[in-house]
Amino acid sequence: MPPLGFTIASLCALAIAALMLPAGCGTSGGNSVGTWSRGVQPSAQRAGAEAGFDFETWFVADPAKGASGPGLVSIAEAVAPYEGLPVPLVTGSRSIAGANGMRVVSIPTEMIAALRNGVALAGPVTRRGSGEMASWTPVIAGPPFEGPIRLGLDSGALRLADSGRMRLLARGWLAPLPEGLGGEGALVPEAAAMYLELVPQFVQEDAGREPEDALDAPPELDAKAPVEEGTPFPRLRMALMLRPGETVVVMLGRGLTASEDVGPGAEGEPVSEPIAAPMGPLIPADSSIGGLIFSDALVVPARGIETVLIVTARGPNEFRLNRRRE
């Protein structure tokens, strides 16, 4: 990859990647298993709305690396006051996600604006609304990189020989809130929640495809579902149950935190020791999956810009089959 200035070329690539968010109907500015109390009150503005999600994407600079502005902090410092709030995880492991560079934090929805104003934004804020997503849909993508690179996974090292990019897929829909996960919502007999699944995926650069072949092919034969376009990492798959009006931040993680929540699908899974230095030819330092999605680590020159995804659920407060529209 030839050297590029991040300000123009790389930030444009990140901004275009953020526009991969699904277009939809609206836009907007303890343990995870068993009974636990939600520390975040749902936003009344999004409760009772059409079922779906509101996405915001931020590009955030680190003030310690030259970002200007009085009183601005890094995104990690900005979310630090909310680290103790429970994350409504029902499947997967935040510990394993953290060891692979991904982090999920619950925040009060009414604090989104304050959080945004407290960090050094390095690019435009993009907002997209989506309805229910029955199919896997790209919601954020990291900048493209040239292979080979070595991924430092919690389960060992993985060499990616091909060029491409890492991205995050999501799908989600309205569902009944499981008993014991409702907190205050348990008072509602048919409480509803938005079920949200997230999984990272590597997409290889498609350098050999000829455009004329794609144009000549019938649309139904040429179309390929996003989940079929690359290689997912199912070990890092997470599922959350968000009450309408609840918000989570999906961002770059910086290592394993043993006390973090573990969902039923990954409870007790071992996390490997740090990877030893490789033998043989020198290759670039280990990257994490989260680092390839949420940072510019492989951009030349890297500027320490992090991409942050804000997800807020919206939908009815009650789940009813064949519910009539008002």
pLDDT tens digits for range 255-267:
544 444 444 444 3
Q: Is the pTM of this model over 0.85?
A: no
Residue 15 belongs to a domain: yes
80 pLDDT exceeds 90?
yes
Average confidence (pLDDT) over 26-49: 40
Closest CA to 229 of 167, 292, 288: 167
What pLDDT is recorded for position 184? 46
Strand 238-242 versus strand 192-204 pairing type: antiparallel
What pLDDT is recorded for position 305? 92
Cα four-point dihedral sign 258, 87, 134, 174: positive
User: How far is residue 130 from each of residues 46, 51, 199, 241, 325, measured CA to CA in Å?
Assistant: 13, 9, 18, 16, 18
Residue 11 belongs to a domain: yes
Return mean pLDDT, the chain. 75
Per residue, the 3-state secondary structure of the chain, as one string, reads CCCCCHHHHHHHHHHHHHCCCCCCCCCCCCCCCCCCCCCCCCCCCCECCCCEEEEEEEEEECHHHCCCCCCCECHHHHHHHHCCCCCCEEECEHHHHHHCCEEEEEECHHHHHHHHHCEEECCCCEEEEECCEEEEEEEEECCCECCCEEEEECCEEEEECCCEEEEEEEEEEEEECCCCCCHHHHHCCCEEEEEEEEEEEEEECCCCCCHHHHHHCCHHHHCCCHHHCCEECHHHCEEEEECCCCEEEEEECCCCCCCCCECCCCCCCCCCCCCCCCCCCCCCCCECHHHHHHECCCCCCCCCCEEEEEEEEEECCECCCCCCCC
Residue 274 belongs to a domain: no
| Higher-pLDDT residue of 25, 288 | 288
Indicate the length of the chain as a whole number: 326
User: Angle at CA 93, nearest 5°, toward 29 and 131?
Assistant: 35
109 pLDDT exceeds 60?
yes
* Reported confidence tier of residue 71, pLDDT bands at 50, 70, 90: confident
CA distance 313 to 139: 14
What pLDDT is recorded for position 297? 84
Lowest mean pLDDT of 13-22, 106-115, 143-152, 294-303, name the range: 13-22
User: How far is residue 195 from each of residues 46, 65, 160, 163, measured CA to CA in Å?
Assistant: 15, 38, 32, 33
Residue 185 belongs to a domain: no
Residue 277 belongs to a domain: no
Residue 184 belongs to a domain: no
Closest CA to 183 of 104, 114, 245, 119: 245
Split into its structural domains, the chain has a count of: 1
Residue 231 belongs to a domain: yes
Residues 195-251: tens digit of each pLDDT: 999 999 999 987 445 445 545 555 555 567 888 888 999 999 999 999 999 999 999
CA distance 273 to 286: 14
Which of 2-6, 42-46, 120-124, 308-312 tops mean pLDDT? 308-312
Average confidence (pLDDT) over 300-315: 91
What pLDDT is recorded for position 230? 87
161 pLDDT exceeds 70?
yes
What pLDDT is recorded for position 128? 94
CA distance 243 to 235: 25
* Reported confidence tier of residue 51, pLDDT bands at 50, 70, 90: very high
Residue 129 belongs to a domain: yes
Residue 74 lies in domain: 6-32+42-179+190-268+283-314
